[in-house]
């Protein structure tokens, strides 16, 4: 016979949460105009409200990525309307909130029934409503304060978010790491039960900028961090501070169940709800979503070409630059990798699909540049680009540019370069001060190509991508 004797240790003590109050926070981030799952979110939120106190928040990048939203008569309005109807309380201002320009942002912010937060921006030079630096929400017995922070990595020689520089000329931004310390005592000042950083920084700055991990490590003022921008799923803890992120494109809904006792967060329980497999939804909101989709169908469903295979984003990049070069009648074209936002399915190509992979309404511009200038741009930008019309390679520390016959092009040769106007606005040190601005956007250029030059898209391989290493 074996007899075991077990002595209870401190580690075995079950915490007593009987005096703690319950709060549920739902959140999304980086939805980029996707609307179809809001009816499910509303159903889930309303169900939880029957059981607990509930707050619904967004970690930014509401716009850009769905032509139903991006090309609606009131650009972006369907997102605001559906967030209002779903019960959102607070949103940080993400970098893509600026994509539509100042006037549209003003209208959308004024239409929102939820609070906007961002501590590292100043709208004084505009008519856009100033977001709160932090916002305290009183819900039932809770006071919860949200501090907003957004990334400012949009330009090497400037401090702006990752959006078109032309669209934020009248705004003033600060690096997030330069302002956070000012808000160290906000929880006490607001008499808040919880102090939450609602961020659009990305989960990790990788030693270059401030991400959520660095925020928790360097500025440990917060009870938790709810983030966005990096399109990742996060459920981790840094320096004792829980960090969450829900992915992107409204595919999943973050649910954080909290227990709070005497202004101390004593327990968190996180669930990531897969909305693609969730079946219940709010019927009324579903009908409104269908109306939005149907209202744009006549324009967006027009067939303008045919794709011979399922193209990934990289393959679309090769098609894109070929089409842009031929439409603009230039020697070479470039497209930034981040500017290709979707793949292209096999079958008929619609107007909506073009707007889906090129959603930013960027203008088209032509420059005359020497090969030497092009090399300086490719080396100095440090970014990756799809290209057409030339061959690019790297030999040790040198960039080599050849024509399509594989003959090296001399540095002094002048080439006509067709490009979207975002790239020279970000990398302005490398482009001439004046370019030949075209009377169409890059998306319109792609559609013209499909309708008038070649409506067949077939790119099984794509080797026209270059990033200087």
In the chain, what are the domain boundaries?
18-293, 302-467
pLDDT at 203: 98
Q: What is the pLDDT of residue 17?
A: 82
- Distance from chain centroid for Cα 33: 10
- For range 196-214, the mean pLDDT: 97
pLDDT at 16 (0 to 100): 79
How is the beta sheet containing 142-150 ordered, strand by strand?
Answer: 134-139, 142-150, 194-200, 224-226, 241-246, 233-238
Average pLDDT over residues 140-159: 97
Contact 68, 33 (CB under 8 A): yes
- Weakest-pLDDT range from 5-9, 52-56, 134-138, 241-245: 5-9
Average pLDDT of the residues in 137-158: 97
Q: Which two tokens stand for residue 298?
A: 């006549």
Q: What is the distance between the alpha carbons of residues 357 and 351, in angstroms, rounded to a whole number? A: 10
For residue 297, name the pLDDT band (cuts at 50, 70, 90).
very high
Strand, helix or coil at 20?
Answer: coil
Q: How far apart are the first and last CA of the chain?
A: 69
Residue 7 has pLDDT above 80, yes or no: no
Beta strands in 59-178, from DSSP E residues, in sequence order: 90-92, 115-117, 121-122, 134-139, 142-150, 172-173
Residues near 378 by beta carbon (within 8 Å), at least 6 away in sequence: 385, 392, 399, 466, 468
| Percent residues over pLDDT 90 in the chain | 95
Mean pLDDT of all residues belonging to the chain: 96
Tokens 């102090």 belong to 195
What is the DSSP-derived secondary structure letter of residue 386? Answer: E
Burial of residue 197 (number of CB atoms within 10 Å: 0-12, 13-18, 19+): buried
Q: Read out DSSP for 259-300? A: EEETTEEEEEEEEEEETTT-----HHHHHHHHHHHHHHHHHH
Structure confidence at residue 15 (pLDDT)? 78
pLDDT band of residue 228 (cuts 50, 70, 90) is very high
Beta-sheet strands, E only, within 275-390: 303-307, 332-336, 347-350, 363-370, 384-388
**What is the predicted pLDDT for the residue at 4?**
38
- Please, are residues 216 and 241 in contact by the beta-carbon 8 Å criterion? yes
User: With bands split at pLDDT 50, 70 and 90, how would you rate the model's confidence at 5?
Assistant: very low
Residues 47-52 have a mean pLDDT of 97
Which CATH number is 18-293's, of 3.60.21.10, 3.40.50.720, 1.20.1050.10, 3.30.465.10? 3.60.21.10
| pLDDT at res. 204 | 97
Mean pLDDT to the nearest integer, 334-344? 97
- pLDDT for 13 equals 63
Residue 278 has pLDDT above 50, yes or no: yes
Cβ distance 285 to 66 under 8 Å?
Answer: no
Which value, to the nearest 10 degrees, does the dihedral of the CA atoms of residues 433, 436, 441, 446 take?
A: -120
Mean pLDDT within 151-177:
97
pLDDT greater than 90 at residue 44: yes
Torsion of CA 316, 321, 327, 329, to 10 degrees: -160
pLDDT at 11: 54
Burial bucket for residue 283 (CB in 10 Å: 0-12, 13-18, 19+): exposed
Pairing between strand 347-350 and 303-307?
antiparallel
For domain 302-467, the question of CATH label 3.40.50.720 is answered with no
- Is residue 2 over pLDDT 50? no
Q: Assess whether the region 18-293 and the region 302-467 belong to the same CATH fold.
A: no
Beta carbons within 10 angstroms of residue 133's beta carbon: 17
Nearest alpha-carbon partner for 116 in 139, 77, 150? 150
Cβ–Cβ < 8 Å for 28, 253:
yes
Give the per-residue pLDDT at 186: 98
């Amino acid at each position: 016979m074996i007899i075991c004797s077990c002595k209870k240790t401190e580690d075995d003590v079950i915490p007593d949460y009987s005096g703690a109050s319950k709060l549920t926070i739902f959140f999304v981030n980086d939805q980029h105009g996707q609307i179809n799952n809001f009816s499910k979110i509303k159903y889930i939120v309303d169900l939880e409200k029957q059981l607990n106190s509930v707050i619904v928040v967004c970690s930014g990048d509401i716009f850009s990525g769905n032509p139903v939203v991006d090309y609606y008569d009131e650009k972006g309005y369907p997102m605001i309307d559906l967030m209002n109807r779903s019960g959102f309380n607070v949103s940080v201002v993400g970098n893509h909130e600026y994509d539509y320009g100042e006037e549209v942002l003003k209208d959308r912010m004024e239409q929102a029934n939820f609070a906007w937060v961002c501590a590292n921006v100043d709208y004084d030079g505009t008519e856009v409503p100033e977001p709160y630096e932090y916002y305290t929400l009183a819900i039932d017995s809770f006071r919860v304060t949200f501090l907003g922070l957004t990334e400012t990595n949009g330009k090497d020689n400037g401090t702006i978010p990752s959006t078109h520089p032309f669209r934020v000329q009248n705004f003033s931004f600060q690096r997030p790491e330069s302002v956070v310390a000012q808000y160290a005592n906000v929880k006490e000042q607001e008499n808040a039960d919880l102090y939450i950083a609602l961020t659009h920084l990305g989960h990790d700055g990788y030693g270059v900028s401030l991400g959520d991990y660095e925020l928790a490590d360097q500025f440990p003022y917060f009870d938790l961090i709810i983030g966005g921008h990096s399109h990742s799923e996060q459920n981790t803890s840094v320096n004792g501070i829980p960090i969450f992120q829900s992915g992107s494109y409204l595919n999943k809904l973050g649910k954080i169940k909290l227990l709070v006792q005497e202004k101390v967060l004593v327990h968190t329980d996180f669930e990531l709800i897969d909305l693609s497999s969730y079946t219940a939804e709010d019927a009324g909101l579903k009908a409104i979503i269908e109306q939005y989709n149907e209202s744009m169908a006549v324009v967006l469903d027009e067939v303008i070409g045919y794709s011979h295979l399922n193209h990934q984003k990289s393959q679309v990049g090769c098609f894109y630059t070929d089409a842009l070069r031929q439409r603009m009648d230039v020697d070479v074209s470039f497209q930034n990798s981040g500017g290709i936002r979707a793949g292209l399915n096999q079958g008929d190509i619609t107007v909506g699909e073009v707007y889906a992979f090129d959603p930013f309404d960027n203008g088209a511009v032509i420059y005359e540049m020497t090969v030497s200038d092009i090399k300086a741009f490719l080396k100095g930008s440090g970014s990756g680009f799809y290209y057409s019309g030339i061959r690019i390679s790297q030999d040790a520390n040198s960039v080599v540019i050849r024509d399509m016959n594989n003959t090296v092009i001399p540095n002094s040769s002048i080439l006509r370069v067709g490009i979207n106007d975002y790239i020279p606005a970000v990398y302005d040190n490398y482009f001439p001060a004046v370019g030949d601005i075209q009377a169409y956007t890059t998306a319109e250029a792609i559609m013209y190509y499909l309708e008038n030059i070649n409506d067949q898209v077939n790119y099984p391989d794509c080797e026209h991508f270059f990033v200087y290493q």
